[in-house]
């Protein structure tokens, strides 16, 4: 098992590895560009080379790229939908350029569940046929707020089955699953939830755990991450990180931070939870 965080790319990719090492990361997640806008700059070749050399030298792997927040691959707004597909295509290329193995996308949003899922399937198929590389797209389960789909594992199954490619998989986000109504507070609950996930999606399709406690209540459909073991999942975080069906996977924390100390606190807690490192 490898543990890591989402790391800022402020000042360039050349600064990422230093930040990752300070936090004792063995795996990382990054944005390839501004996550809150549509515009982007071309990746600097020298910056990418330095980044790849540094992560290789320090055995920080795998590397995950997360799509920007504005993207909605299930949108019924034609302009937004087209811009989202274009962004997915661009980030597939950027992920390859920085040596990332995976590209993460939230499930989309649409008032019509079936339409949203079908639109997301077609968007991903279009992007994969346009960009022929080895980067795998991972769909992240959601908390289910508003018109979000992807909060039920059945939705993820439909997307993955519909795309029907070896370049599609899933991220299992613990805070989102808990807020969506999957029990994770007890050992039995974790085992049953993972059993459902395995039966519907297949754990072989899960490539990453977003290891986040939840400030939001069980089944609230609210996306509120919190510090490991200090939220509503609480002791369940230990059952999750020690579950035999997950122990081979990388775990990325997206816990709140004001400074490095909070990341170091969460890393220390997570490592202490592991019974047989």
**Would you call 176 a catalytic residue per the annotation?**
yes
* Measured distance CA(104)–CA(107) in Å, rounded: 10
Q: Is the dihedral of CA 203, 101, 69, 126 positive or negative?
A: negative
Among candidate residues 6, 19, 94, 210, the one labeled active-site is 210
Chain Cα centroid distance, residue 103:
8
**Would you call 33 a catalytic residue per the annotation?**
no
Residue 276's pLDDT is 78
- Which CATH number characterizes residue 11's domain? 3.20.20.150
Binding site per annotation, positions for Zn(2+): 66, 106, 140, 173, 176, 210, 223, 225, 254
Number of H helices, E strands in the chain: 9, 10
Contact 215, 186 (CB under 8 A): no
**Would you call 263 a catalytic residue per the annotation?**
no
- For 44, the token pair is 């600097």
Binding site per annotation, positions: 66, 106, 140, 173, 176, 210, 223, 225, 254
Domain that holds residue 80: 2-273
Residue 37's pLDDT is 83
Residue 277's pLDDT is 62
Residue 255's pLDDT is 97
Chunked mean pLDDT (size 10), the chain, 277 residues? 96 96 98 88 95 97 96 97 97 97 96 98 98 98 97 98 98 98 98 98 98 98 98 98 97 95 98 89
Residue 34's pLDDT is 87
Chain Cα centroid distance, residue 5:
11
**Would you call 210 a catalytic residue per the annotation?**
yes
Among candidate residues 91, 148, 213, 223, the one labeled active-site is 223
**Would you call 155 a catalytic residue per the annotation?**
no
**Would you call 223 a catalytic residue per the annotation?**
yes
Among candidate residues 6, 33, 66, 207, the one labeled active-site is 66
Q: Is the dihedral of CA 209, 213, 215, 220 positive or negative?
A: positive
pTM, two decimals, is 0.97
**Would you call 199 a catalytic residue per the annotation?**
no
- For 22, the token pair is 């300070």
**Would you call 36 a catalytic residue per the annotation?**
yes
Nearest to 174 by CA among 255, 277, 103: 255
Beta bridge pairs of residue 148: 109
- For 17, the token pair is 């590895």
**Would you call 254 a catalytic residue per the annotation?**
yes
SS3 assignment, position 33 = coil
Among candidate residues 46, 53, 69, 217, the one labeled active-site is 69
- For 213, the token pair is 């406690």
The number of domains in the chain is 1
Among candidate residues 225, 227, 257, 263, the one labeled active-site is 225
Tens of pLDDT along 222-258? 999 999 999 999 999 999 999 999 999 999 999 999 8
Among candidate residues 19, 23, 81, 140, the one labeled active-site is 140
């Amino acid at each position: 098992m490898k543990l890591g965080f989402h790391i800022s790319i402020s000042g360039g990719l050349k600064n990422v590895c230093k930040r990752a090492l300070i936090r004792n990361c063995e795996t990382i997640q990054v944005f390839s560009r501004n996550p809150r806008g549509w515009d982007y700059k071309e990746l600097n070749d020298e910056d990418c080379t330095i980044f790849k050399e540094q992560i290789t030298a320090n055995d920080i792997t795998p590397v995950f790229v997360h799509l920007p927040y504005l993207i909605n691959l299930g949108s019924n707004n034609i302009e937004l939908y087209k811009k989202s597909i274009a962004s997915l295509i661009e980030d597939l290329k950027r992920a390859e350029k920085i040596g990332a193995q995976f590209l993460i996308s939230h499930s989309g949003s649409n008032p019509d569940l079936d339409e949203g899922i079908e639109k997301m399937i077609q968007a991903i198929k279009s992007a994969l046929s346009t960009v022929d590389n080895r980067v795998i797209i991972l769909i992240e389960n959601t908390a289910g707020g508003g018109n979000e789909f992807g909060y039920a594992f059945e939705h993820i199954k439909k997307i993955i089955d519909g795309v029907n490619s070896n370049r599609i998989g899933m991220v299992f986000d613990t805070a989102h699953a808990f807020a969506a109504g999957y029990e994770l507070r007890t050992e039995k609950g974790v085992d049953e939830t993972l059993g459902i996930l395995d039966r519907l999606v297949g754990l072989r399709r899960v490539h990453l755990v977003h290891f986040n406690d939840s400030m939001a209540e069980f089944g609230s459909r609210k996306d509120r991450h919190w510090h490991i073991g200090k939220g509503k999942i609480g002791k369940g975080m230990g059952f999750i990180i020690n579950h035999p069906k997950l122990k081979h996977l990388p775990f990325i924390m997206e816990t709140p931070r004001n400074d490095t100390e909070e990341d170091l606190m969460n890393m220390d807690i997570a490592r202490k939870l592991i019974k047989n490192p």
